[in-house]
Structure 1
Amino acid sequence: MGLLDPKRLISMQRQRDQDWRRRQAQARNGLISSRAKKRGSPFQLDDDSQDGETELYLGPRLPEDILCHIHSLMPMEDAARVSCVSRAFLRSWRCHPNLAFSKETLGLNKKACGNDELARDFSSKVDNILKKHSGIGVKALKIHMFNDFNAKDSCNLDSWLQIAVTPGIEELTVRLPFKAKYNFPCSLLSNGSGDSIRYLHLACCSFRPTAKLGWFRSLTRLHLNFVRTTGDDLGCLLSSSFALERLEIRYCNRIVCLKVPCVLQRLSYLQVLDCEGLKVIDSEAPNISSFWFHGYDVQLSLGETLKMKNLFIAFSGAVHYTRMELPFSMPNLETLTIVSGSEMADTPMLQSKFLHLKNLTIILTAVSFSPGYDYISLVSFLDACPSLENFDLDVTHRAMEHVSIFTDPSDLRRMREQHHHKMKSMKIRGFSSAKSLVELTCHVVESVTSLECLTLETCQSSSRCWLPWNKSGKCTPLPMGVLIEAQRALSAIRTYIEPKVPSTVKLHVVETCSRCHAVEQL
């Protein structure tokens, strides 16, 4: 283990501190002299202690820069504890580079005191730490406030940011209680303070950047969560953030039009989730490779998307939209996830292809999905993806309203024969007795010659008894109708699918937990 290994150095320093306190006590009791009797002894005495006492320091001193480096690698709570037993660490604590303030890091227990006392203790501790901090060398500041947020909290937060946000800071996180009335002081990021910031994360506040802020030369990641800002405000920031690589915007309901300028040449990851007021996403950034969108009826204009490799898209009608629109604009997709709450039309059979798509996930989520939707129409995606290796389908519903195979046991439809030579795995969650779903599964079993594993999972509890965090040791209850349909699904698998599965394919059937649900007693 090398000299600069943090754990070894911390252990050495703690041992020296313990020996120092023991020998200092002996010196006060007259048991040893106040000076080392032999020159060159490894135990050296220093006359630089406070209160007129002689400080004993054991062993050769570690260089100050090494001690500061060790201290900077510790989590804040550990760094604070060590500073209480070591004067060397106490000095470096006053310019500790990583400050993270939350009820967890400050050791505040909500059960031991009420909300008001908890809030007072939080403010008191943060105020005490920051006022004793030099304000020099802060690289990362995280503030996670909780409970109610009032005018006094706003003033405190302003003063804390004033101390810590200085030139050289690289990470800034401010997370406030939901609906907190706080205007983030953008002026703090002017005059060079914003030039060094690499990661900015704001939650539950107002954020109104202007062109006067200047360039954010180092900003590589911007994360806004429940932030009150507009598309124009955000445009001022984005237009000067040439180094930006990741942009994450969640629940920012005042943004109507999100414009991502072409100057963001390094932007590779864009995420926009549940911004209720959003109507338009207009991106001209040319190198986005991953795009996550969850929302409503939005006009998407993503410009050049030839480098798009990973796509997550979620809104009603997303399956139909994706099959119709994206093969031409995103020909190089490799991983695609589609989430839809309803589909008004079946998935069309088209000639367009996703030539490079390897992983496809389709999640059709709703209490009850559109009963007129034909599951077998999803074969369109299989035909369009010659490189597909993994296909996951989630059709978990509380009420199965499709025509059951047992209601209409007539001959199963057979789709046009087309063999796939790369698809290895298929998994269906929430498998039911819907006839079109059985037909889709049979088509895969019969036409995918490369298939190695088929997993069919009937409807499951949201929390299962075997999960380590489930303290009750029982699966969460399922409605009687869901349990009955799970049994019908199991019968459909045994009757119509299992006999057609080749010996080269491993069939894995996951049933509902009979111990917790006692299905056999229904």
Structure 2
Amino acid sequence: MDKESSQELLVENKIAGFSRVQKPDVAAMQLELLPYDVLRDILSRLSIKDVVRMSVLSREWRQQRICHPDLVLTKDTFGISTDMNTDPDLVPKDYFGIIKDMNTKRASRAAEFIANVDSVLRPLWSTCTTTTTTLDKFVVEFGLRRKNKYHIDKWVSFSIVSRAKHIAFHFTFDVDCFGPGCDQYKYVFPLCRLSGPSGSCVTSLILGYVERFSNTRDCFMTLRHLNMNLDIFLGPYDDSWVMGFVNLLELAPLLEELELHMDRDRFCFENPRTVLAAQGPPHRHLRSVYMSGFCDVLGLAELALYILRNATVLQRMVVDPVAGMMDNALTERFCSVRNGGSSEEIVFPTDGTQKCVGKKRMFAKNNLDKEEFCHVLTIL
């Protein structure tokens, strides 16, 4: 190779090397040039699945700490199957072996869901207790229990510091958490965290399959919509929980809409009992109430009577003896007072439970269907 050719080759290699060193990261540069509000707008136009996929695959997006304004984290978000069907040739033949296999799968899927949620939220924390992310909606829906408290507590904290207006934690009905002894396995929601200045942004709260909530004395001055699944099976055997709920209504003086859902398998006792309205102060903003799965559980009719007599601006109360909060309550809308309790959206019971539903309906009519309430009360 002659001298001139060698020099030309050397120059070309230097140019190529310089290009490799100096070549900018186009994706990162383009992200940095876009204003924060524009990035948020882009994300809001994508599905939550695409946003989660992008945050996992793109380091640049994670570094920008940009989040979809409606963060809805469910099994469908991460493509996690909850089908418990197993190959009969691969599972033990005895009953306890099958249950053990199902519990193992359930635990594995819960661990997968927790890891996925943490991977989405981890980049959004500025420190271990603060974030610059602001959300409109934060939803977690999966079959979790009290043993997952460490992770759930962090998610609750994130929902608060991100100033989410609509917060939902629905831990879904599960066959291994059913009956009067299942409360010990349910997550105790720290309602006190959402009261006072720290929770001042929350306007809508949905709680499903939690052990009710922790006590608090602070007010919920911004709360407008409360949706809860009481999930009472064969208890409680006293109505003390009602006063806690009346106290909660008192602490949310601007609440306008209330939805209460009983578990779907509650039956009605034969022996009638005397129902008296629970005692409490008037509520001056509650306009609409929907109760599903209405039955004779101690305290429920007393609570309904309290609301009918003390909610001074109440426009509509719908009492439905059918069903409770369904497993997909957060993603598919059930019958609500906001659409007038449309019968087209009611999940009717099977023939085997019609008699029980009839007894529940009769119990509701005997205790609530009074002339003074006829302008606001509808018993389905």
Shorter-chain TM-score bucket reads 0.5 to 0.7
SS state at 1:188 partner: helix
Deviations 1:272-319 (A, max 9, x none): 5335223412121122222111359xxxxxxxxxxxx96899854968
Give the distance between the partners of 2:373 and 2:171, measured in 1 at CA.
38
Match of 1:14 in 2: none
- Please report how far the alpha carbon of residue 119 of structure 1 lies from its aligned counterpart in structure 2 after TM superposition: 1.8
Give the distance between the partners of 2:283 and 2:150, measured in 1 at CA.
36
Match of 1:264 in 2: 284
Match of 1:146 in 2: 143
Give the distance between the partners of 2:250 and 2:279, measured in 1 at CA.
10
Conserved 8 A contact 2:137-2:166 = yes
Match of 1:105 in 2: 77
Q: TM-score, normalised by structure 2?
A: 0.59
Are 2:156 and 1:156 aligned? no
Are 2:161 and 1:166 aligned? yes
Give the distance between the partners of 2:196 and 2:42, measured in 1 at CA.
31
Match for 2:221 among 217, 220, 226?
Answer: 217
Structure 2: state its 5+ residue gaps: 1-12, 87-103, 126-130, 178-184, 233-239, 267-275, 323-338, 344-356
Which runs of structure 2 are paired with 1:240-251 in the superposition (5 Å)?
Answer: 240-251=251-262
Match for 2:205 among 189, 194, 200?
Answer: 200
Match of 2:347 in 1: none
- Please report how far the alpha carbon of residue 224 of structure 1 lies from its aligned counterpart in structure 2 after TM superposition: 0.8
- Please report how far the alpha carbon of residue 163 of structure 1 lies from its aligned counterpart in structure 2 after TM superposition: 2.9
Q: Share of identical aligned residues, percent? A: 20
Deviations 1:70-103 (A, max 9, x none): 2234332222234467677445554443222211
Which runs of structure 2 are paired with 1:67-86 in the superposition (5 Å)?
Answer: 67-83=39-55
Give the distance between the partners of 2:56 and 2:365, measured in 1 at CA.
59
Match of 2:317 in 1: 291
Give the distance between the partners of 1:120 and 1:324, measured in 2 at CA.
46
SS state at 2:251 partner: coil
Q: Which amino acid aligns with 1:264?
A: R
Which runs of structure 2 are paired with 1:253-402 in the superposition (5 Å)?
Answer: 261-271=281-291, 273-275=293-295, 276-277=297-298, 278-280=300-302, 281-283=305-307, 284-295=310-321, 316=359, 328-330=371-373, 332=375, 339=380
SS state at 2:306 partner: strand
**Bigger CA radius of gyration:** 1
- Please report how far the alpha carbon of residue 62 of structure 1 lies from its aligned counterpart in structure 2 after TM superposition: 3.9
Conserved 8 A contact 2:196-2:220 = no
Q: Which amino acid aligns with 1:114?
A: K
Are 2:247 and 1:236 aligned? yes
Conserved 8 A contact 2:146-2:188 = no
Residues 1:258 and 1:127: Cα distance change in structure 2 (over 3 Å): farther
Q: TM-score, normalised by structure 1?
A: 0.44
Give the distance between the partners of 1:218 and 1:60, measured in 2 at CA.
35
- Please report how far the alpha carbon of residue 159 of structure 1 lies from its aligned counterpart in structure 2 after TM superposition: 2.3
Give the root-mean-square deviation of aligned CA atoms.
4.4
Give the distance between the partners of 2:135 and 2:69, measured in 1 at CA.
4
Give the distance between the partners of 2:196 and 2:154, measured in 1 at CA.
18
Give the distance between the partners of 2:366 and 2:186, measured in 1 at CA.
43
Q: Which amino acid aligns with 1:234?
A: F
Conserved 8 A contact 1:291-1:312 = no
Conserved 8 A contact 2:256-2:286 = yes
Conserved 8 A contact 1:80-1:93 = no
Deviations 1:424-447 (A, max 9, x none): xxxxxxxxxxxxxxxxxxxxxxxx
Structure 1: state its 5+ residue gaps: 1-27, 36-50, 297-308, 340-522
- Please report how far the alpha carbon of residue 121 of structure 1 lies from its aligned counterpart in structure 2 after TM superposition: 0.9
SS state at 1:218 partner: coil
Match of 1:493 in 2: none
Give the distance between the partners of 2:57 and 2:363, measured in 1 at CA.
65
SS state at 2:222 partner: coil
SS state at 1:169 partner: coil
Match of 1:54 in 2: 24
Residues 1:189 and 1:323: Cα distance change in structure 2 (over 3 Å): closer
Residues 1:132 and 1:86: Cα distance change in structure 2 (over 3 Å): closer
